[in-house]
Structure 1
Amino acid sequence: MGNFKGHALPGSMFLVVGLWWAGKSSFWYATRSKLSAAHLSSRAVQRRLEVIEGATILSFSVIGMLAEQFSAHGPRLHLYDYAERQWHCLMNWQHATMYLFFGLAGAVSLTVHATGSAPLALDRMLLGVAFFTEGFLFLHHLHGRAVLDAHIHQLLLYAVFGGAATACLEVFHRGNVLLELLRASLCLLQGSWLWEIAFVLYPPSGVAEWDLKDHSNLMFVTMCYCWHFGFSLLTVSAVYCTVCWVVQSKLKRTQPMELGLLKTTDKEQESEDEI
């Protein structure tokens, strides 16, 4: 993770998952709020989508763990270097641990929704634990870094711990669309900010363009973080409005067909009465 690709990969994963959460939550809310759209979100459909989500998160996590362990400079499952008498690639091990907990969250989600043998709220609880573990690991591996490097990672922690708190609240308030959309926006914020970290600390050109000790850069990066958060909220709002519009359009097209079928049935009944 200590390079451009190492930040872009998890950033892309968080962006994909955040967009998925925004679309899924918007769809559930749009169909729940209208009785005529109840057939669009049956329990079977919901369970199928939750299983797909859990499998996707688990797959992303396995890919991340393998990338951290078996990349060009990865530890390849060696934790301690006995020749040098020191720990080996601890940063890679920390990132792999982060992926491990998200993998556990995905596996638990699969178990809950595919088998029904576990409490329904367990998936949200493990997701909150995964976010908390991510923030806890990031919090304790910034020692000795340059000022801007540490600050830009600390800003990420607000989104991470915010996601953990939101997921834990969903354990007790499941189906609350505001909490679900907030979780989606914080996930998008994580993804976009990881891309920002990649461009600031590891520019693709290979030339360091940022002074890591300049206080004005800290002020700009903090302001930029607020822009990212605003962009994530706008993105979730756009997804919500688009999904609601699509559902409403779908209902407008199906209602005339249903009225036509009802009229045809009434005519048939009248003709039978006449006979």
Structure 2
Amino acid sequence: MGSFPGHVLPGTLFFVVGMWHIWCSIVRYVSDPKSFRVRVWNPVSGFEGRFKYLELYVIAVGGFIDLCIEFLYSTHLKIFVHGVLNPSHMNNFEHSGMLLMFFIFGVITLLSEKTRYLPLPEGALCLIASAAFTAEYLLFYFHSTTHKGLEGYYHFILVVLIGLCILSTIAGTLMPTSFPVDLCSGIAIALQGLWFYQTAFTLYGSMIPDGCRRRESEVTCHSTEHEIRGELLANFQLFVSVFGVLVFVSGACIYNEQRFRHSNITNAEE
């Protein structure tokens, strides 16, 4: 997604969903460890159930909006040229395919949870989610847009994070009672969202490393030393992202442990 908005929009979706998944996973485990089960999505409690399926709507609607931007707006409706797909917008078509998979996941999960027409177990939903992440992985690995140099390094890290999302969702099917697996899934999704943001600000925003610049459709560096310095900066940015997410995880664990412990003590006294 060779633009600043093209990275920020999916980054926002992944980050919000990932952080929500982390929080809900910790809450469910701390409140009742014995009955803990892996969930591919988490309902919003309270509000008389009006926002129960908010996460799924965010995935489906957000994916659909981004799909329309990539397939319709970015291509200026010039989809076919001389009877074939417009070669100038192949990257937009590829992104559309990825977003279509997440849209399908959101719709199928909504049908499974809200209707009787498509009842699926949680393990099957995990496999559908892993299929969406796999489509995303293949997109960035076999991208028609050749990523070289510093830009290629940022996208390589993104591919690694997507791979972690695939592994954690598949593991959720194989180990449906594992808290670490469920937590790792949320962490991987949140990190993917953060890395979309980092890529947007570094390659398409104001944080581009010294000695490098964006020229037309690619990032170029003045020398190999500047490119290596940019890659080292990327490593540090990844470390900061991982550290920040783990701080949130630790804080959420401590907060919910104290909250539910206090609640249990109060109930016991009553």
2:251 matched to 1:238? Answer: yes
In structure 2, the residue corresponding to 1:121 is in which secondary structure?
Answer: helix
Q: Distance in 2 between matches of 1:97 and 1:200?
A: 25
TM-score (norm 1): 0.78
Specify the alignment match of 1:215 in structure 2: 228
Specify the alignment match of 1:94 in structure 2: 94
Specify the alignment match of 2:31 in structure 1: 31
Specify the alignment match of 1:38 in structure 2: none
1:76-225 correspondence runs (5 A)? 76=76, 78-82=78-82, 86-115=86-115, 117-141=119-143, 144-204=146-206, 211=212, 212-213=220-221, 214-225=227-238
Q: Distance in 2 between matches of 1:140 and 1:76?
A: 24
One-letter identity of the residue aligned with 1:2: G
2:240 matched to 1:227? Answer: yes
User: Could you list the runs of 4 or more consecutive aligned residues of structure 1 that deviate by over 6 angstroms after TM superposition?
Assistant: 43-46
* 1:180 CA drift (Å): 1.0
Q: Is the 8 A contact 1:65 1:96 kept in 2?
A: yes
CA distance change for structure 1 residues 3 and 44 in 2, over 3 Å: closer, same or farther? closer
Cα deviation code 1:90-142 (max 9, x no counterpart) = 11111121111111221222233223622331110011111111111011127
Q: Is the 8 A contact 2:90 2:144 kept in 1?
A: no
* 1:78 CA drift (Å): 4.2
Specify the alignment match of 2:216 in structure 1: none
More helix by share: 1
Q: Is the 8 A contact 2:22 2:186 kept in 1?
A: yes
CA distance change for structure 1 residues 21 and 86 in 2, over 3 Å: closer, same or farther? closer
* 1:59 CA drift (Å): 1.6
Specify the alignment match of 2:70 in structure 1: 68
Q: Distance in 2 between matches of 1:17 and 1:219?
A: 29
* 1:44 CA drift (Å): 11
* 1:209 CA drift (Å): 5.0
Q: Distance in 1 between matches of 2:86 and 2:186?
A: 40
CA distance change for structure 1 residues 121 and 85 in 2, over 3 Å: closer, same or farther? closer
Q: Distance in 2 between matches of 1:44 and 1:223?
A: 35
* 1:28 CA drift (Å): 1.1
One-letter identity of the residue aligned with 2:82: Y
One-letter identity of the residue aligned with 2:32: R
Specify the alignment match of 2:262 in structure 1: 249
CA distance change for structure 1 residues 142 and 18 in 2, over 3 Å: closer, same or farther? same
Bigger Rg, which one: 1
TM-score (norm 2): 0.80
Q: Is the 8 A contact 2:209 2:230 kept in 1?
A: no
Q: Distance in 2 between matches of 1:201 and 1:111?
A: 39
Q: Is the 8 A contact 1:11 1:195 kept in 2?
A: yes
Structure 2 residues not aligned, in runs of 5+: 36-42, 213-219, 222-226
- Most deviating of 168-177 and 108-117: 108-117
